Structure 1
Amino acid sequence: MVNVSSYFGISCTVTCFMLWIFWPAEATILTKVGDGVKLTCSNNSLSGLNQLTWKMNKQMLFSLKEKGNRIHNSTLAADLDLKVLKSENELYSLVIKNIQTSHTGNYTCETSTDSGVFEENWELVVTEEDKSSSTSLIAIVAAAVFVFVLVIIGIVLMCFGQWKWKNENPAVSVRVKSKRIIKQQPEEIYENDLEIEQHAQTSRSGRR
């Protein structure tokens, strides 16, 4: 019993280790709405290519049989506006422009070559843009502009009120000026009387 249990324990460990090595690794890509992403299969998996398939959540997007042949597009790829590049440097890369939340999911590139079958996986996580900060900034700017406009309106109303009051009460300013003139008149008359009296005395003394 001991030998059997130890044998199964070793076999289980070896099996788990082999699965961990050969199980296709999955990369997680975090992106925001409106960004762009390009997924590229390994160059090694494209040598001696017999068939290539792009999938999203296990649903076929693009299919190619033999290198250089026409790529077959699915309706799902057309709805999501997905493209496949055909350049030599980026052969059969999956391109997603203007990412939306509907693009969130698991993407798989399956290739069948003369060397064997290969599979690469990506998990695309799309987050919506945080609009709270931009909304707060807009609110602050709007409040500042509103306060500034109120201050300008207050200054204009004060100036207009003073101008209107002066136009409606012109007699007040005239009275103030006339009072100042009346106060100066007795001093001028008194000085004139003194000059006349001095002149009369001088003329009398001259006659004697």
Structure 2
Amino acid sequence: MLHTSGGMLGFSRNVRLSGAIFCCITWTFCTADVTFISKPAGSTVTLNCNTSISDLGQLIWQLNGEILFSFLNVDNGTLHESPAASRLNVRLNLNQSSVQRFALIIERANKSHSGNYTCETATIKGILIQKWELLITEEPENFQIYIVVAAVVIPVCILLLIVCVVVLRRSSKQKPKKIIRSLRPKKQTEAVYENCLEIERYHERLSGSQP
């Protein structure tokens, strides 16, 4: 009996030791490399968590250690959405016919969506952990505003420049005409004055020639 009890104790120790080694090996293989993703603000970001519903027990999406979604595959599936997911306006793809089922979808991403994302799935094969580091670059809205302003201001400036050139050309052509017009009346008055003098001289000659 002592031998049996000692054997049972040794067996239990071996089981515990094997379990600890198995957990360490499982943790080592489940900790995947981090995938770095950089996207401009305003774009749609999709993070695919590769898993199959047939052997899925539980799925958890996290951002910087905070749970966004937890899906428990019991009784047709139970989904829990955290307040953080609602605040960030992210959603989980639950379309059964989609190959991207359980993917995390971020629409109109902004800087608040930057961070470390983790998808942890528990299946009959073990635990699988997938990680992403998402970086959202500067807001494209400011850049778009600059483009719109440039697209409006540049044509307006070109149009104003063309109008100024046309006005200057017209004004330069009209100035000699004004000078000519202003001189014409003077020439006419001088000619009329000369004609009057000749007429008076003619009358004086006639009056002088008469007895």
TM-score by length of 2: 0.61
SS, match of residue 79 in structure 1: helix
In the other structure, the counterpart of 1:192 is none
Tell me the matched-pair count. Answer: 162
Distance 1:40 1:118 in 2: 13
Secondary structure class of the residue paired with 2:120 = strand
Partner of 2:69: 62
Q: Which amino acid aligns with 1:152?
A: V
Q: 1:43 aligns with which of 48, 51, 54?
A: 51
Distance 1:73 1:132 in 2: 34
Mark the CA change 1:57 to 1:70 in structure 2 (over 3 Å): closer, same or farther: same
Structure-to-structure mapping, 1:179-194, within 5 angstroms: none
Deviations 1:43-85 (A, max 9, x none): 35x4421111110001000011115323111110001000011
The alpha-carbon distance between structure 1 residues 92 and 139, as it changes in their structure 2 partners (threshold 3 A), is closer
* Unaligned 5+ runs, structure 2: 1-24, 191-211
CA deviation vs aligned residue, 1:153-187 (integer Å, no higher than 9, x gap) = 343255357658756873523566899xxxxxxxx
Tell me how far 1:22 sits from its aligned partner: 4.9
Identity %: 28
Aligned to 2:41: 33
Determine whether 1:116 maps to 2:126: yes
**Superposition RMSD in Å:** 3.7
Instruction: Map 1:22-171 onto structure 2 (within 5 A).
Output: 22-43=30-51, 46-66=53-73, 68-88=76-96, 89-129=99-139, 135=146, 139=150, 142=153, 145-156=156-167, 159-160=170-171, 163=174, 166=177, 170-171=181-182
Instruction: State the secondary structure of the residue aligned to 2:94.
Output: coil
TM-score, normalization by structure 1? 0.62
- Structure-1 separation of matches of 2:144 and 2:71: 45
Match of 1:95, SS? strand
- Once residues 132 and 81 of structure 1 are traced to their aligned partners in structure 2, the CA distance between those partners, rounded to angstroms, is 23
Per-residue deviation, residues 89-145 of structure 1 (Å, max 9, x unmatched): 222111000000000001111111122111111111111157679848955973564
- SS of corresponding position for 1:170: helix
Unmatched 5+ residue regions in structure 1? 1-16, 180-208
